[in-house]
């Protein structure tokens, strides 16, 4: 696993190990960033269920002003911190070991981009969608990674599904505010 482009291009990132680990592949990561490429520079990025932090780190490498990483796992948080140090991006980042849903319900910050890739089949993605609008800037984009067979809602609050992209067994779904829908 590596940073694809930007200031930390080519740097190798540590990743979690184990049967429950499912890191976003470089192919899917590249697809996500091609969708949001014109919305990254100078923006704020929230990497919920961060795992290794590779998505938020990629956003920082590509010019995001700041990124927040949340994960409930102590091991994940330690890896995120090491990966931020390796990429020399720690000054633009904040890392929280916390329940991601709890973070959404108590957070007072606003974000331009949110990436959510919780463990599959847990219902956490639906819970996150029900709570993420309150931390979004109106012009923001929510990006969800899920199994291609999982049905996600057409909308939540004032955010509507913009597009779905399928990459084998993985589906990327993007949402934006109704005022910015195409």
| Alpha helices, DSSP H, located in the chain | 26-36, 54-61, 74-87, 100-106, 124-132
Sign of CA dihedral 39, 168, 47, 136: positive
Q: Phi and psi at residue 51, in whole multiples of 5°?
A: 60, -115
Instruction: Say what the pLDDT of residue 18 is.
Output: 63
Question: What pLDDT score does 24 carry?
Answer: 75
Q: What is the pLDDT of residues 69-112, one digit of tens each?
A: 999 999 999 999 999 999 999 999 999 999 999 999 999 999 99
Residue 179 pLDDT greater than 60, yes or no: yes
All domains of the chain in start order, with CATH = 26-180 (3.40.50.150)
The predicted structure's pLDDT at residue 27: 83
The pTM of the full predicted model, rounded to 2 decimals, is 0.93
Burial of 17 (0-12, 13-18, 19+ CB in 10 A): exposed
Is residue 36 scored above 70 in pLDDT?
yes
pLDDT tens sequence across 117-135 = 998 889 999 999 999 999 9
Q: Is 34 exposed, middle or buried (0-12, 13-18, 19+ CB in 10 A)?
A: exposed
pLDDT tens digits, 43-75:
999 999 999 999 999 999 999 999 999 999 999
> Between 28 and 50, where is the model more confident?
50
Q: Grade residue 20 by pLDDT with cuts at 50, 70 and 90.
A: low
pLDDT score for 129: 95
The answer to which of 25-29, 113-117, 139-143 has the lowest mean pLDDT is 25-29
Spell out the alpha helix ranges (H) of 4-123. 26-36, 54-61, 74-87, 100-106
Q: Give the pLDDT confidence score for residue 182 in this predicted structure.
A: 64
DSSP 17: -
| Residue-wise pLDDT tens digits, 6-16 | 899 889 999 88
Confidence of residue 21 (pLDDT cuts 50, 70, 90): low
């Amino acid at each position: 696993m590596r940073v694809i482009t930007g200031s930390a291009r080519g740097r190798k990132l540590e990743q979690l190990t184990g049967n429950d680990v499912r890191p976003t592949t470089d192919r899917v990561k590249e697809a996500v960033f091609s969708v949001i490429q014109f919305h990254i520079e100078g923006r704020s990025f929230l990497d919920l269920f961060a795992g290794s932090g590779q998505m938020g780190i990629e956003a920082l490498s590509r010019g995001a002003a700041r990124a927040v990483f949340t994960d409930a796992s102590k091991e994940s948080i330690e890896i995120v911190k090491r990966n931020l140090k390796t990429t020399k991006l720690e000054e633009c980042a904040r890392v929280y070991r916390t329940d991601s849903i709890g973070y959404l319900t108590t957070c007072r910050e606003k974000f331009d981009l949110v990436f959510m890739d919780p463990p599959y089949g847990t219902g956490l993605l639906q819970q996150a969608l029900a709570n993420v609008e309150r931390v979004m800037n109106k012009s923001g984009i929510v990006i969800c990674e899920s199994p291609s067979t999982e049905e996600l809602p057409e909308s939540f609050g004032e955010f509507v599904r913009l597009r779905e992209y399928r990459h084998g067994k993985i589906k990327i779904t993007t949402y934006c505010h109704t005022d910015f829908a195409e």
